Every structure is written in structure tokens, then in C-alpha cells.
Amino acid sequence: MSSWKRTMILFPRIPSSVRTFASSSGLWSKKARRPCPKITRLTGMRNPIRLKNLNARFLPLYLIGIVGLVLWPPRTEGLVVALPLIGFGAALRGWGAGHLVKNAELTTTGPYAYLRHPLYLGTIMAATGFAIWAGGWRTLIVLALVWPWFAFHYFPRKERNESARLEAAYGDRFMHYRGAVPALWPRLRRFRGDRPDEFSGHWALERYSDNNELGTLLTLSAGVLIFWWRSGLVA
């Protein structure tokens, strides 16, 4: 029973105007009595398969990748550079996904205290790792396509849209964060911004799951296994 209803039982002669105000303001509603969900509450892992990645517009890219792996197996010369890049990219993405709270709070903890877009940086690092692993002229072609596309089309569009949304939602708080923390090049000292007490600054598995990072990890792991196999490293 809510504290307001207990008050009404103890003091039944409260004026009707007060009763009307309490009812219209939602003090008696079930929604008002429902506890706010905790972001750190452990839930089941989200289905890692993202249907939007199975869209037909990605089919040509998948076909090109398959044909390329069949006709030109990856080389092993750049493996010592490729694997750390892929691993660090996946780790950076996983670290960020465990802190990111989409559409509920301005995330400034974890890697977000050093750069604003750790997921994008992790992605381009992993992509660069696979390109280096491909070896030879294939590395040059992939990097010549991926880096300009990321730098001049994909990332500027994402940065512009996300910044506009966050500025509209958090105003000066986001502008202060944006001015202090670089987009992709990490700062040396951790950004210390204000954060509501109900949002934990610790990495959380449910955030990792909600951001569907398990699907990304499985995709990168499958890519490493396929490249390893096609490189002739499996006996």
C-alpha cells in the first residue's frame, strides 16, 4: 500500500480538491506505484542474431567475401598484427557495450570516459585486422575501400545524428562532455562527469546483452575461425 493511501485511511476527511489533485497527478495509479526497473538487473541473454544484418542489400557483400575467401585464401604474414587488432577491437567493443545505456542516460563511464565512440573504433580496428590478414594486394584494396568509406561517409553521418540526439536530450551536459572527450582518439585522463546515482558505473552483462554485443563477438569469432582455416593453419 502506498504512503498516500495510508494517509487517506488515517485522515479520511481530507478535502476533495486534494483527493482530485492526487488522483490526476498519478499518486494513486498502478503505474506510479510500479518500481522503476534497475538497469543492472540480470536478465536472459538477447538473441545474438540481428535480422537487419540478413537484409538483402548486404547479400552482394557476403557473396564477394565468400568468393574472395575461396579464390584467394588469406596469407599468414600479417597474422602477428592482424590478430591483436581484431582481439583489441572486440575487447574495446565489449567493454563499451557493457557500459552503454541507450536512450536512458548519457554514458560517460568505462571507455566512454576516454573517447565518445569506442564501438566504432573497435569496429574499424577489427576490420583493419581482417584486411591485413587477407594479405598482399587484397589488403590494399580493402583498406582503400573501408577507411575512406568510414572516415568520410559512415562515421560523420553517425556522429552528426547521434550528437544532435544527445544534445537535444541532455543539453549543456552533453556539450560539456563532447568538448572534453575526443570522438575516436582516446584522451589520456579519464573524464569525470556527473552521473545520477541510480546508474552504476560498472560493466554489466545485461547491458552487454541489450546492446547485442554477443552477436558481434560471435561474428568476429566466426571470421577468425574461417580465416584461420582458409590460411591453411588447421592441419
Q: What is the pLDDT of residue 59?
A: 73
Kindly indicate the confidence band of residue 47, based on its pLDDT and cuts at 50, 70 and 90: low
Q: What is the pLDDT of residue 19?
A: 45
Low-confidence winner among 142-156, 195-209, 220-234 (lowest mean pLDDT): 195-209
Q: What is the pLDDT of residue 4?
A: 44
Q: What is the mean pLDDT of the segment spanning 8-25?
A: 44
Q: What is the pLDDT of residue 177?
A: 95
Nearest to 230 by CA among 61, 75, 63, 65: 75
For the chain, what is the mean pLDDT? 80
Taking the CB of residue 142, how many other CB atoms lie within 10 A of it?
18
CA atoms within 13 A on the CB side of 182: 8
Q: Is the pLDDT of residue 88 over 80?
A: yes
Distance CA 203, CA 212 (A): 15
**Residue tagged 557473396 (cell numbers):** 63
Check residues 31 and 108 and name the one with the higher pLDDT.
108
Q: What is the pLDDT of residue 179?
A: 95
Q: Is the pLDDT of residue 28 over 80?
A: no
Q: What is the pLDDT of residue 45?
A: 62
Q: Contact 161/94 with Cβ under 8 angstroms?
A: no
Q: What is the pLDDT of residue 39?
A: 41
Low-confidence winner among 39-48, 58-67, 70-79 (lowest mean pLDDT): 39-48
Distance CA 185, CA 87 (A): 18
Q: What is the pLDDT of residue 3?
A: 45
Cell triple for 215 = 552477436
Q: Contact 150/143 with Cβ under 8 angstroms?
A: no
Distance CA 169, CA 172 (A): 10
Q: What is the pLDDT of residue 40?
A: 40
**Residue tagged 552533453 (cell numbers):** 174
Distance CA 32, CA 30 (A): 5
Low-confidence winner among 52-66, 69-83, 114-128 (lowest mean pLDDT): 52-66
